[in-house]
Amino acid sequence: MIPYIIVIALVIFLEIKFDFFSKNFKKMFKEKSKEKTIVFLILILVILFSASLGSNQIAKFLKYNPKYVGKPIFKNFYGPYLYFKFLFFKVSSKNPILNNIYLVNTAIFCLLSIPILLYMAKTCDNDLDTHGSARWATVSEWERAGLISPPGKFTDGVILGILKQNLFGKVRYIIENLKTHIALIAPSRAGKGAGVIVPTLLNWLGSVFVLDMKGENYQITAGYRKHVLKQTILKFKPYGLEDSISYNPLAEVRIGTPYEVKDATIIADILTDPGEGKKRDHWDMSATALFIGLILHVLYMRKKEGKIGTFGDIVDFLTSTDKTLEENFIELMEYRHLEDYSIWNEIYDNSQMKGINPGTHPVVARTAAEILNKEERERANVISTVMAKLSLFKDPIIRKNTSRADFRIKDLMDYKNPVSFYIVVEAEQMDTLSLLLRILVTQTIGILAPEMDFSSDKPIHKHKMLFLMDEFPAFGAIPLFEKALAYIAGYGMKALIIAQALNQIKKNYGDRNSVFDNCATTVFYSPTPLDTETPKQISEMLGDKTIKVKNKSYKAFQIGSSNISESNQARRLLTPEEVRNKVAGKWNIISVTGLYPRIGVKLEYFKEKYFASKTNKVYGIPKTDYLTDETFSDIKTTIDTTVKTTIDFMNEEEENELDERIREEFLENIESENIELDDIDEDYNIENNEVTEEEKEEMLDTLYIDEGLIDPEEDF
């Protein structure tokens, strides 16, 4: 009976010391704690197993005599009741063999049950919260929040790590798909690419906007996203000589609308931002005004040629070799941007139009006048400030890759299928390209997340999009991005911000920035030894727990006389030193707002069959797609009108037969500028409709002449 006494004593101790059984039964039935329920069920099964084993040994000893052992449950198998029957009625005391059976089985029971009870005692909450109630989250808590995938399955979302069940060792994945943002703080070479970036790009089903350092993520994941997920793949490599789309920031300025100055100002503000939280001085503000005027000038000037103005055009204007700058600005005041300039009467008030030459853009004319009215030395300083900001666009490769509009930003979330947009940059190029990338990010947010429209419950965009911002601090400060984190989730955008240390974000956005505050989920890898700030902030974020501390005091000159007292004290869930040790190697710390944190296991995609089967080794490395070109993007806003003009030549039945596939083929023909009369017959199936050759000519005139694509006298 000694083993039973030990177990009973342990049970009594747990209940008295920790209120253990009553509290955990409460968790089981009130809070539905799955983990506690499983532990208790295992304990019960251990009791039944050891008792059943003893029952069958007793039955065998008594030669299965029904007079003593009764009827079996099934052939020669007896339940646990026989064991307890002989135990409580002390039948065993009359026979030493039965005593040995009981001794062996109680020993087995103790060996199995005591570790379980000790485990339960270790994981038991002592409900001390006087100085804090911080603790690690249970599996069931994160399951209810939807952060843990079902065993053997993957759900859509950002993959943060691996969770291993304590009892059975089943591998499950921590996947976050909340409508909030994520911050990942991981030093260089810590495994963030293999653990988060690549797995997420092989798992996320929506569009992605990826800053891809060195192009490794494109090489590994683009093939799967193109061939399996059926996404459009765009690769923008600013310093790429081939296989790169072109991005023209000026193509996104909505000229001829009330938004043209606003759009130009966004670009100008980024170009003249002094950085690192510094205030703009007189030269910066003057340069901003000049940029706005020059942007509008080159856009309207090139529009007359059926093209889109570029930063290269601005550089050419300011570095003209056949005229002086003063002569250029004088001509600018009289340049005829539009023949029919009535549209400006709807955009600008009378005071802005007063004194402006007919057809000259009012903002451009006044910008030129402002520059010419400055004292020569001041004028030179303003222009030199502008030229310094444009130095990037003197590079012939950058100029080439910003000279066309091979996609439009709205396509990232509203194209017919999701778009994977990779920005491929070498690490040493980041300082040089940060200006261009800040413009790209700012325009993306400004265009895809305008003023919220609450008139409909329908999603604003066709597809959700993940901003995967590796080496986020390398962009420099993007004020709109910091502000937009508070609301872009409502547009279906999710940000995954990656930095090497918290100090990097503070350097760009200041100590009181809201970037980190707007990330509901944070993931920490082991900090470097020189990074003292990050461990402190992690420790502070995890919070305090309350512990009992025993204090032993002795009375002077009284040997053996002492007092023992207990007190509750606060203790960090992890101290800064423990943070370094706890997340070293394969571990990470994951914190989600509104939930207790957990320690996860870093994933390595190349060791996981599920991910290894999706890489470039299977699907190859695709070439970039192109959604449009400069000419097409110039007429993109009028596509619907153009298609409607064509449909007008069809009867109602044929109009209803048009589907999205035909429409896309038609637009591709516009893009290639190779439409033939036979193509129209074949693509639109109107050969049986009574449409004359003359009417077909009119159709082409509508498409080409009105949009300025070709000269009919030259091409027909």
Tell me the sheet residues that pair with 422.
210, 235
3-state secondary structure of 156: coil
Alpha helical stretches, state H, 62-91: 66-69, 81-88
Cα(316)–Cα(393) distance, integer angstroms: 10
DSSP category for residue 176: E
Residues of the chain with CATH 3.40.50.300: 128-239+406-441+454-625
Q: pLDDT tens, 37-67?
A: 677 777 788 778 877 887 887 777 777 777 7
Backbone angles phi, psi at 407, to 5 degrees: -160, 165
Closest CA to 501 of 186, 211, 191: 186
Write out 497-542 in H/E/C secondary structure.
Answer: EEECCHHHHHHHHCCCCCCCCCCCEEEECCCCCCCCHHHHHHHHHH
The answer to whether the CB of 131 falls within 8 A of the CB of 149 is no
Q: pLDDT tens, 205-222?
A: 999 999 998 899 999 999
Cα(510)–Cα(505) distance, integer angstroms: 8
pTM of the model: 0.72
Which stretches of the chain drop beneath a pLDDT of 70?
1-8, 10-37, 83-100, 102-103, 117-129, 164-170, 276-277, 451-457, 552-562, 629-716
The predicted pLDDT at position 694 comes to 52
Q: What torsion do the CA atoms of 274, 275, 276, 281 make, to the nearest 10 degrees? A: 20
Cα(633)–Cα(709) distance, integer angstroms: 12
- Sheet with 207-213: strands ordered across: 171-176, 158-164, 598-601, 587-592, 521-524, 182-185, 493-499, 465-469, 207-213, 419-425, 232-236
The answer to whether the CB of 308 falls within 8 A of the CB of 635 is no
Cα(473)–Cα(347) distance, integer angstroms: 38
| 63, 197, 245, 424, 466 from 421: Cα distances, Å | 77, 14, 10, 10, 10
DSSP category for residue 63: T
The answer to whether the CB of 500 falls within 8 A of the CB of 465 is no
The predicted pLDDT at position 625 comes to 94
The pair of three-digit structure tokens given for residue 666, joined into one six-digit string = 């038609």
The predicted pLDDT at position 6 comes to 63
Does the domain at 128-239+406-441+454-625 match CATH 3.40.50.300? Answer given as yes
| CB proximity list for 551: less than 8 A, separation 6 or greater | 564, 565, 566, 567
Beta strands in 555-628 (DSSP E): 562-572, 587-592, 598-601
The predicted pLDDT at position 532 comes to 85
